[in-house]
Structure 1
Amino acid sequence: MFSIGDFAALGRVSVRMLRHYDSIGLIRPARVDQFSGYRFYTAAQLTLLNRVLALKDLGFTLQQVQTLIDEKVDVGELRGMLRLRRAQLAEEMAAGTARLALVDARLRMIETEGHMNTGDVILKTVPPVRVAELSAPASSYDGPDISEALTPLYPQLIERMESQGVTMTGPPMAYYLPAPKGPGDESITVHAAFPITGEVPADPGFAVVDLPGIERAATLLHHGPMSEAFRTGQAIARWIDDSGYQTVGTGFAREIYLDCPMDDLSKWITEMQVAVTPGT
């Protein structure tokens, strides 16, 4: 099982959203600790989460979503609804393009329910690495919030590294850390990084960080734009559950951008790494 924080991270939604869904009876935790009150979820509940988010993307209210879920809308009906929404989005402003891609991705997730392939997940040790990095705040781990904060950091970092004569020695990467300002705050810090070696001049305009290694990382290659990274995150979650492991720390994935052609996001290849430990 996963804590509410880990389940939110692996499902790419917010903890606040999951708590609200619990309060209205939309997605109940699989177990609630009777002493601490902590909520726990299973990877199998990602199926319900996918349906809820797909219906929300169609524009249904949560009350309407609850009714449709209770009526057990099947994949065929959802497919028809999503295709109708696709046609509507195609006629809207360019800002709707990102949301359209997300609808398509949720549809693909729903259509693979029951036979999601997790056989390509590799458990491996990730060595420590020294990186040059820039960081920025994001209001949550939701995809659009991450992209808005993270994307501008890479060209800034490249420019500052070049001005200092610092050369990258590996592919770009990203990692995430919680940065709550108070109870209920889901803000995070996004870190854009490049592996480096050797000496770095004083005050280079970026941070130099020694990232610790990961003793056991469940890793899987994500193919396509990072707006659809939840597909790979959920495949890793199912593997973790099926293999008797549990996440370590925040549950946020470390992302290694192996191939990133800027003219075609569909051809991106990203390795996602989630720290795990054998379950107790």
Structure 2
Amino acid sequence: MLTIGDFARHGRVSVRMLRHYDAVGLLRPARVDPSSGYRYYEAAQLARLNRVIALKDLGFTLEQVRSILDEDIGTDELRGMLRLRRAELESAAAEAAARLARVEARLRSIESEGTMPTEDVVVTSLPPVRLAELTGIAGGFEPRDIGPVVGPLFAEVCRRLAAGGGTPVGPALARYEDAPEPGAIIVRAGVPVCGGDLPGLRVTDLPGVPLAATVIHRGSMDGVLPTAHALARWIEANGYRPVGYAREVSLDCPDDPAGWVTELQQPVTGA
């Protein structure tokens, strides 16, 4: 028989690891001295240790390893477990590749501009939201076209909401669509609500978005174009494609527009 130290050296694992395998019932010693508590192993147990190490190296948990070794799992079930593990690894590799692409894009931006980008883009999903909203038409999508339309719309939404006894449950949201007239834009200004019908307001259940690139713009929306352009460059550099117009969520709107905080939410399709 081999002492735990000798067995550990032959198996190329630590004594601490062997004690842990014993504690979880994965690899018990062949004999434990009743007086000293010393553990002893048989050389034949190296085969089981090697299988444990090999299965762990494939990414299986110790509980899964014990099931494979002790529960007489058939070939079909083991094949299914391995295929599932392969899918998990492929997903992790895809996520790592996407993260690497974002790092490379950030590096290119720093190298071309000589500074660290100030706009941090986050890719996330957008939850569904129920909006009480009003609609208007803007002559174009420039800030000078949108501002005179969306501001009064939000003010009127808040006035009608208060008059109808409604209460906002989240920050105001502006969204845009192409109008039938060439170059014109449909402007929808709304606030999240919980209730149903509200007098003088259209209540819309806006579906969630599986994937969106988001960035924070600070200051008046008259100066939003540099932030919007930075977001567009990031989307292109990272292999995404925009879907429709970006939403604008007003996170903070003090009296001074210089203190406004707005999140641009651009729906995208995957890289």
TM class by smaller structure: 0.5 to 0.7
What aligned pairs does 1:1-280 form with structure 2 within 5 A after superposition?
A: 113=113, 115=115, 117=117, 120-181=120-181, 185-201=182-198, 204-248=199-243, 250=244, 252-262=245-255, 264-279=256-271
Instruction: Report the CA distance between 1:198 and its aligned residue.
Output: 2.2
Alpha-carbon distance change, 119 to 256 in structure 1, aligned in 2, over 3 angstroms? closer
Kept in 2: contact 1:116–1:235 (CA 8 A): no
* DSSP 3-state at the match of 1:151: helix
Instruction: Report the CA distance between 1:228 and its aligned residue.
Output: 0.9
Kept in 2: contact 1:168–1:194 (CA 8 A): yes
| Counterpart residue type for residue 139 of structure 2 | S
Instruction: Structure 2: give runs of 5+ residues left out of the alignment.
Output: 1-111
Kept in 1: contact 2:119–2:215 (CA 8 A): no
Deviations 1:216-264 (A, max 9, x none): 110000011101111111111111111111112x2x21000000112x1
Instruction: Report the CA distance between 1:146 and its aligned residue.
Output: 0.4
Instruction: Report the CA distance between 1:116 and its aligned residue.
Output: 6.4
Number of residue equivalences: 160
Kept in 1: contact 2:211–2:270 (CA 8 A): no
- Which of structure 1's runs of 4+ aligned residues deviate more than 4 A? 112-116
CA distance in 1 between counterparts of 2:115 and 2:208 reads: 32
Root mean square deviation, CA, Å: 1.7
Alpha-carbon distance change, 207 to 277 in structure 1, aligned in 2, over 3 angstroms? same
| Counterpart residue type for residue 252 of structure 2 | D
Partner of residue 47, structure 2: none
* DSSP 3-state at the match of 2:224: helix
Structure with more contact order per residue of length (Cα contacts < 8 Å, sep ≥ 6): 1
Deviations 1:188-236 (A, max 9, x none): 11111100002334xx101111111111110000011101111111111
Alpha-carbon distance change, 137 to 167 in structure 1, aligned in 2, over 3 angstroms? same
Deviations 1:94-141 (A, max 9, x none): xxxxxxxxxxxxxxxxxx956461661000000010000011011110
Alpha-carbon distance change, 137 to 114 in structure 1, aligned in 2, over 3 angstroms? farther
**CA radius of gyration, larger in:** 2
Instruction: Report the CA distance between 1:180 and its aligned residue.
Output: 2.3
Instruction: Report the CA distance between 1:278 and its aligned residue.
Output: 2.1
* DSSP 3-state at the match of 1:120: coil
Kept in 2: contact 1:166–1:200 (CA 8 A): no
